[in-house]
Amino acid sequence: MTVTRAHVARPGRPQHPAGPPARASAPARHRAPTRWRAIVGAAAASALLCTLILSATIVAWRLSRPAPVIVCGTDPLQAAAVAGLADFAQWLHREDATGFVGEVGWPSGPDADSWNALADTWYRAADAIGLPVTAWAAGQWPANYRMAVYRTGGAGSTLDSAGGQAAVVEAHPSTARYPRGVALAGGSFGSADPGFSNLSPGRYGPDYSYENDAAYAYLAGRGVRLVRLAVSWERLQTRPFGPLADAEVDRVRTAVTRAAAAGLTVVLDLHGYGDYALGGPDGVRRVVLGGPELPADALADLWSRLAAATAGLPGLIGFGLLNEPSRLAAKGRDAALVWERAAQQSVDAIRRAGARQTLLVSGYAQMAPGDWGRMHPHAWVRDPLRRVAYEAHDYFDQDNSGRYRTAYADEMARFAATAPLCRRLVPLLRPPFTARRSA
């Protein structure tokens, strides 16, 4: 027991005439040190327990997440493709965001072996990062189209033939971390024709179409698990802010339902560039998003209606807000700001409609993975569900157009031979959606 002034004997008085005082009867101030020691000890034990739990959690998290991977190209063009994906992943990590590659395409024909080897290296890098990918593209392509992963092989209208790119796509299938598949372009066919407009959108069947049951079964049999289904603004909504076209919505709903029945998941891709072909007595005018005839909230209005019209569809896991928003009512950084506002308004409208799908958001102008951050230094979309993925498109020719006007050797000559061939790739922490079917 600690000796205090109260316990010191005074002269002329016996010490403890009734024996030592009971410990319980000591004044409260004598018990304070003991109580504080108990409190401090309990706090220290609690802090130690929290530290141990946190340490165990960090160790478990590090053990459960995929480790960084080094991917090397064998020539400068391959190395540049890997570096582009590494830069995209770095932007996503810095912004605590996640990503998606909605299009990657390369040609068959001359130099096909070299292009396929490049694409295989690119896919190995995408695998290491954990990026969902839909390759460009499948559809009823003409015989001279060089980027058809899958096409119709005969006079019929059903996908039944694989192009030279299919072997690469199929060598990098879906996993539990990410889905893989192809873009289906048929719903956008004809929309680039000079006479196309909201008043002349083309005939379903001869001019554009969606896949049938046999086509979806064929794709599923080839290992495809995700399809990016192209749709046209002018066909879905025959005037801005107007009602949706019932017949076209029914076709889209049928296409999604058929894909789901075959075991596929679907991203609806609004396949446009930011303009709207407005027909009239003087011909076709293409009004641009952000301008007086097509304000930014026109896109939000479309998505509000389309999200409600597709509610409850099985297998529909994502909405691509706009394919490549490059034709806007401004240029440069001002155009990027126009797109940022339009994208946020569309996200807000979709969530108000009750839809919970992942929302795929392209960037303005340069969509290549290595160019992310040039026009959008930071991730800008605010989504209460945090189900947003920033979408890049990757082609390996000089202008990222997919036209492939020059030979492989000419494209490779653009890059210095001294560029590093290997890059360290860190996996994404939050994949936007998994290969499992969900809404």
pLDDT at site 429: 81
On the question of pLDDT at 408 being above 50, the answer is yes
On the question of pLDDT at 87 being above 70, the answer is yes
CB-based burial of residue 310 (10 Å sphere; 0-12 exposed, 13-18 middle, 19+ buried)? buried
pLDDT at site 135: 98
Q: What residues contact 373, with CB distance under 8 A and at least 6 apart?
A: 87, 91
| Three-state DSSP state, 279 | strand
pLDDT at site 306: 98
Q: What is the pLDDT of residues 165-185, one digit of tens each?
A: 999 999 999 999 999 999 999
The number of C-alpha atoms within 13 Å of 265 and in the hemisphere containing its C-beta is 23
β-pair type (422-425, 69-72): antiparallel
Q: What residues contact 195, with CB distance under 8 A and at least 6 apart?
A: 284
pLDDT at site 22: 47
* Integer Cα distance of 111 and 128 in angstroms: 26
Q: What is the pLDDT of residues 219-239, one digit of tens each?
A: 999 999 999 999 999 999 999
What pLDDT band is residue 67 in, cutting at 50, 70 and 90?
A: confident
* Neighbour tally for 421: CB within 10 Å: 17
Q: Which tokens is 192 given?
A: 């680039």
Please say whether the dihedral angle defined by the alpha carbons of residues 370, 373, 378 and 383, taken in this order, is positive or negative: negative
pLDDT at site 222: 97
Angle between helices 213-221 and 246-261 (to 10 degrees): 40
- Structural contact between residues 240 and 198, judged by C-beta atoms closer than 8 angstroms: no
What pLDDT band is residue 15 in, cutting at 50, 70 and 90?
A: very low
Q: What percent of the chain has pLDDT over 90?
A: 77
Cα 262 off chain centre by: 23
Q: What is the pLDDT of residues 254-300, one digit of tens each?
A: 999 999 999 999 999 999 999 999 999 999 999 999 999 999 999 99
Residue 162, strand partner residues: 150
pLDDT at site 419: 74
- Structural contact between residues 299 and 338, judged by C-beta atoms closer than 8 angstroms: no
Q: What is the pLDDT of residues 141-163, one digit of tens each?
A: 998 999 999 999 866 679 999 99
DSSP E strands in 293-343: the ranges are: 316-320
* Integer Cα distance of 117 and 72 in angstroms: 12
What pLDDT band is residue 43 in, cutting at 50, 70 and 90?
A: low
| Three-state DSSP state, 417 | coil
Q: What is the pLDDT of residues 306-325, one digit of tens each?
A: 999 999 999 999 999 999 99
Please say whether the dihedral angle defined by the alpha carbons of residues 424, 412, 184 and 322, taken in this order, is positive or negative: positive
User: Could you give the dihedral angle defined by the CA atoms of residues 341, 196, 317 and 359, in that order, rounded to the nearest 10 degrees?
Assistant: -10
pLDDT at site 34: 65
The number of C-alpha atoms within 13 Å of 346 and in the hemisphere containing its C-beta is 28
pLDDT at site 72: 95
Distances (CA, A) of 61 to 55, 168, 200: 10, 32, 55
